[in-house]
Each structure stands twice: as structure tokens, then as C-alpha cells.
Amino acid sequence: MSNSRGKIIVVGAGIAGLSTAWALTRRGYKVEVFEQGPIPNPRASSYDEHRITRHAYGTLEGYGYLMPRAFRMYEQLFQDIGARHILPGSVVYFLRDPVDWYEPVSRTMTALGKAFHEIPLAEVPDRFPMIETEGLTQVVETEEGGMLFPIRILTDLTVWLGNNGVVFHSDARVGDVDPEAGTIVANGQTHRADRIVICAGAWVNKITPLVEDVVVPSRQAVMYLTPPAEYVEVWKTAPVMIDLGTDSGTYTLPPKNGTRLKIGDHVFTRSGDADGDRIASDADLARLNRAARLAYKDFDRYRVIEKKVCFYTVTRDPSEEFQVKPWGEKVWVVSACSGHGFKLGPLIGDGVAAAIAGEMSDEDAVRLTAGRMSLEEARALEGA
């Protein structure tokens, strides 16, 4: 796509869409954002109290290499919006089976110069009295991670974009995208732009056929909880915790900085429809409850404040690569979900804006966002 400073339509006001609008606005483009619901939209993947950010990326080492840049992009965004919506801290991993995790993580963290250490199993009951120790094989603490606060980020970013000339169209579901003409239809009206960026989250396959062979929506359950009285104090100082087994696993965000204790299940369902009901049924919660009982002592005594169903797209194969691709002459499609896209939102948005501005080739933007760059390439990009 050629370099031009013109008008860009962004479809979707989640972290990917708003970050792309941010990166384009900073480059001098005139941006209009179309969102099918309110802005921000509580049904979006991005809408939640907290999200994990971290350098330790398991077997997805290419994304680990991008994390120093992802953290820096967030700092730039925080500077613009005038608020630092992040709580830095460690992320502690509780491994229960011989999962393929430690080796790639130790390699990535060492290559990035980020600290990590094992916590002796004998120390776990004192430091983490809420953890079920049965079945634990290894506990590893990784530094320089923490929690991002998405609702606050989306809201402040919307305010910043509005103040910087971005036009918002809420309750405007987009259809009939013409990738060659650069037109969309919303609420019966046709709109034209020099480029269109589709950041439709779990609705992506309803608006374009481009990635439907590769990604599928995944219905995921989370719970917000009140711990039993004897664990209240220990949860207040807990880090982000991730429990990894071969067929179960949880991620848990502690109740800090005005958020609730949240537990989720990181096994993908690869089923459901983002337009469907959002009522968390017993079936939705069965696997999460089982995984949580394996991870936490006395889990049945935690009281549920809210059960929630949310959606993201995930690749049909196990790669979890984000799908960020040009479609025809005028459109980019951004599907950066797979349960790990929030921490990379501004990096992805900046990558797409760099490609539209001609600062980066389309091929490099695709490889960057798919986490396919080597450590050397990621470093070179940072120095560029």
C-alpha cells in the first residue's frame, strides 16, 4: 500500500481499533471509528477490569521478543492520555505437569535480560497459602510483568482520540466492505476512505472472509470472586498467578487498584457466536471450576460476585498467531486475539499504521504482528 496522509476508517473500538486510530492520528491521518455498540463496548474482548502483561510468553517466543517494544508502546500511549494504567509486578507460574513451558521461557527471559527464578516448593505454603500444593512440580517467578487496566485505557484513549480530531460513530454496525473501492456501509449509508482497517475482534468472520479458514470465535468463561476471610489479606498482596497443567489451567488477577479478584480458564473452547447470549451457564463454568479446584485450596468457599462469558478469536491450529493482513487494495484486517492481544494492542496498531504510512513493508507488518520476527529483527526494529 502506498504512502499517503488521507482519511482512514477504523472498524471496531476495542484495543486494536483504538490503538490503530491512535497510531494513525499521531502520524497525521484523519480517522473515523465505526463501532457496532457503545464506545467502549462491554461486549468487546478488550472490555474488562484487568489484563495480564508479561515478558514470559511460553512457547510463543516470537511474541516474547516483541514485549520490550510492547511495554514501550504502552508507555508512549500512557504519556499521551496522561495516565499510567498499569500496575507493574511479577507473574508467578505454578506448573503441575511436565508442560512444555520452562525451557522456552528461560531462553526468552535470558535473551531479553529479564529476571526470573524458581521458588522452592517448600516455600509455597508460607508465601502463597491459597495455593493447592498437591501436584505442583515447579514454581517460577518472572519479573517485569503486571496488570493493565483495560476499561480505563479504552476510556482515556477514546477521550484523547476525540480531542485529537477522531470522529466516532457508535451503534454503527459495518457491513458490505468493498476492499478495492475502499467503501463500507453503516446504518444504510456508504462511507469512503483512502484505507479501511477492520479490527472486529470475535466478529471478524462476519465482516470479511479473509481469515475465516484460520480463526474461529472462542467462548470463554471468567469469574470474579470474594475469597474466604482467612485469604483476604494474602490476596491483597498476591502477584498475577498462572497455573499450568496439561489439560487444565487458570490465570488469576489479584484484587488490586480498584479491581476484583478474577479467575479465568486458558483452555480455548473454539465454539460459540459473539452475537449470542452472554449468560455463563454451568456448562460454561464446569471446566473453570475444575481447574480452579486443582489450583486453589478451599476453592468451593470462594463466593462468586459475577460469572461472565466473553469471546475472542483463536487460530484453528495451535499456533495462536495474530492474523493481521491486507485485504485487496484498501483494507487491513486485524485479528489480534487468542487471549493475549491486549498487551500487544498499541504495538499492533502502530505496526498497521506504519505499513499504511509506508514506513514498513506490508510483509514485515504481517510478520511482526504474527510474532514471527527473530530476536535480532525485533531489536533492529526497536533501534530503527
Ligand X SMILES: Cc1cc2nc3c(=O)[nH]c(=O)nc-3n(C[C@H](O)[C@H](O)[C@H](O)COP(=O)(O)OP(=O)(O)OC[C@H]3O[C@@H](n4cnc5c(N)ncnc54)[C@H](O)[C@@H]3O)c2cc1C
Query: Minimum distance from CB of 126 to ligand X (Å)?
Result: 27
**Cα-Cα-Cα-Cα dihedral sign, residues 312, 314, 320, 324:** negative
Cis bond before residue 40 (omega within 30° of 0): yes
Taking the least distance from each CB to ligand X, the nearer of 21 and 378 is 21
Query: Minimum distance from CB of 252 to ligand X (Å)?
Result: 10
**HSE on the CB side for 365, CA within 13 Å?**
24
Strand pairing category for 240-244 and 86-95? parallel
Residues with Cβ within 8 Å of 337's Cβ and at least 6 positions away in sequence, in order, are: 45, 201, 202, 215, 312, 313, 314, 322
Taking the least distance from each CB to ligand X, the nearer of 118 and 273 is 273
- Residue 125 identity: P
Taking the least distance from each CB to ligand X, the nearer of 228 and 328 is 328
Taking the least distance from each CB to ligand X, the nearer of 344 and 356 is 344
Query: Minimum distance from CB of 363 to ligand X (Å)?
Result: 21
Helix ranges (DSSP H) in the chain: 15-26, 61-81, 102-112, 124-127, 150-163, 204-207, 232-236, 282-295, 345-356, 362-369, 375-383
Taking the least distance from each CB to ligand X, the nearer of 123 and 316 is 316
Angle at 271 between CA 12 and CA 261, to 5 degrees: 70
Taking the least distance from each CB to ligand X, the nearer of 222 and 244 is 222
Query: Minimum distance from CB of 120 to ligand X (Å)?
Result: 27
Distance CA 86, CA 52 (A): 10
Contact 366, 322 (CB under 8 A): no
Taking the least distance from each CB to ligand X, the nearer of 34 and 149 is 34
Query: Minimum distance from CB of 355 to ligand X (Å)?
Result: 17
Query: Minimum distance from CB of 128 to ligand X (Å)?
Result: 19
**Cα-Cα-Cα-Cα dihedral sign, residues 272, 220, 45, 317:** negative
CB count, 10 Å around CB of 28?
9
Q: Name the residues that contact ligand X, by CB under 6 A.
A: 11-17, 34-37, 41, 43-46, 51-52, 173-174, 199-203, 207, 220, 222, 264, 310, 312, 336-337, 339-343
Query: Minimum distance from CB of 109 to ligand X (Å)?
Result: 18
Distance CA 254, CA 262 (A): 7
Taking the least distance from each CB to ligand X, the nearer of 8 and 16 is 16
Contact 204, 198 (CB under 8 A): yes
Query: Minimum distance from CB of 250 to ligand X (Å)?
Result: 11
Angle of helix 102-112 versus helix 61-81 axis, rounded to 10 = 50
Taking the least distance from each CB to ligand X, the nearer of 343 and 367 is 343
Query: Minimum distance from CB of 107 to ligand X (Å)?
Result: 21
